[in-house]
Amino acid sequence: MEFLKDPVAFIAGLLQNLSAALNLPPAVESILGTVIAVVVVASFGLVLVIPMIWVERKVAARFQDRLGPNRAGPYGLLQTFADMIKLITKENITPDGADKVPYNIAPVLSVVSVVMIWAVIPFSAIWIGSDLNVGVLYIAAVGSFGILSVLMAGWSSNNKYALLGAFRAVAQLVSYEVPLFMALLVPILLAGTMSVNGIVEAQSYGWFILAAPVPALIFFISSVAEIGRTPFDLLEAESEIVAGFHTEYTGMKFGMFFAGEFLHAFTISVLTAILFFGGWRGPGIEFSPLVGFFWLMAKGSAFYFLVMWIRTTLPRIRIDHMLAFNWKVLTPLSLVILMLTAVLDKVFAGDPLRVPVLLAANVVSLFVTLWLATSVSKRQQKDLQTFPTRPVAVPPASEAETSA
Specify the pLDDT at position 357: 92
Ranges 61-70, 331-340, 379-388: which has the least confidence: 379-388
Residue 398, domain member (yes or no): no
Q: Are residues 73 and 109 in the same domain?
A: no
**Does residue 313 fall inside a structural domain?**
yes
Would 393 be classed as within a structural domain?
no
Last residue within a domain, chosen from 89, 123, 145: 89
| 395: confidence class by pLDDT, cuts 50, 70, 90 | low
Number of H helices, E strands in the chain: 17, 0
pTM: 0.86
Tell me if 27 is assigned to some domain.
yes
Give the DSSP per-residue string, 173-190. HHHHHHHHHHHHHHHHHH
Closest residue by Cα to residue 144 from 163, 123, 116, 168: 116
Whether residue 23 sits in one domain with residue 111 = no
On the question of pLDDT at 401 being above 60, the answer is: no
Same domain, 157 and 36: no
Q: For residue 389, tell me if it sits in a domain.
A: no
Beta carbons of 146 and 113 less than 8 angstroms apart: yes
Q: Domain boundary at 53, 71, 89, which?
A: 89
Q: Tell me the helix, strand and coil percentages in the chain, rounded to 5.
A: 75, 0, 25
376 found inside a domain: no
Shared domain for 82 and 197, answered yes or no, is no
Q: What is the pLDDT of residues 66-107, one digit of tens each?
A: 888 888 888 888 888 888 888 888 888 888 888 889 899 999
Higher pLDDT, 29 or 325: 325
For the cut 80, the answer to whether the pLDDT of residue 379 exceeds it is yes
User: DSSP string of 79-140?
Assistant: HHHHHHHHHHHS-----TT--HHHHHHHHHHHHHHHHGGGGG-BSSSS-BS---TTHHHHHH
- State mean pLDDT over 288-306: 90
6 pLDDT above the threshold of 90: no
Is residue 186 located within the same domain as residue 107? yes
| Together in a domain, 141 and 265 | yes
SS3 (DSSP) at 310: helix
Amino acid found at 242 = V
Q: How far is CA 107 from CA 102, 167, 255, in A?
A: 9, 17, 8
Q: Answer yes or no: do 72 and 109 share one domain.
A: no
Nearest one of 334, 182, 172, 326 to 241, comparing CA atoms:
172
Out of 69, 89, 109, a domain closes at: 89
What pLDDT, in 10s, does the model give residues 105-152?
999 998 888 888 988 899 888 888 888 888 899 998 888 888 888 888
Sort 317 into a burial class: Cβ within 10 Å, 0-12 / 13-18 / 19+. middle
Q: Are 196 and 306 members of one domain?
A: yes
Mean pLDDT over 381-393 rounds to 67
Q: Does pLDDT of 244 surpass 80?
A: no
Q: Are residues 328 and 261 in the same domain?
A: yes
pLDDT of 1 > 70? The answer is no
Residues 148 and 109: their CA atoms lie apart, in Å, by 8
Residues 63 and 119 in one domain: no
Co-location of 267 and 174 in the same domain = yes
The answer to the question of residue 295 being in a domain is yes
Percent of the chain clearing pLDDT 70 (strictly above): 92
Distances (CA, A) of 89 to 84, 94, 105, 133, 335: 9, 16, 20, 43, 49
**Which pLDDT belongs to residue 391?**
60
DSSP-assigned beta bridge partners for residue 291: none
Q: In the predicted model, is pLDDT for residue 397 greater than 70?
A: no
Q: Is residue 220 part of a domain?
A: yes
> Is the preceding omega at residue 231 within 30 degrees of 0, hence cis?
yes
pLDDT band at 268 (very low <50, low <70, confident <90, very high): very high
Task: Give me the DSSP letters along 83-97.
Answer: HHHHHHHS-----TT
Instruction: Give residue 300's pLDDT.
Output: 92
Domain that holds residue 309: 99-370
Structural domain total, the chain: 2
48 shares its domain with 125: no
User: Is pLDDT of 10 > 80?
Assistant: no
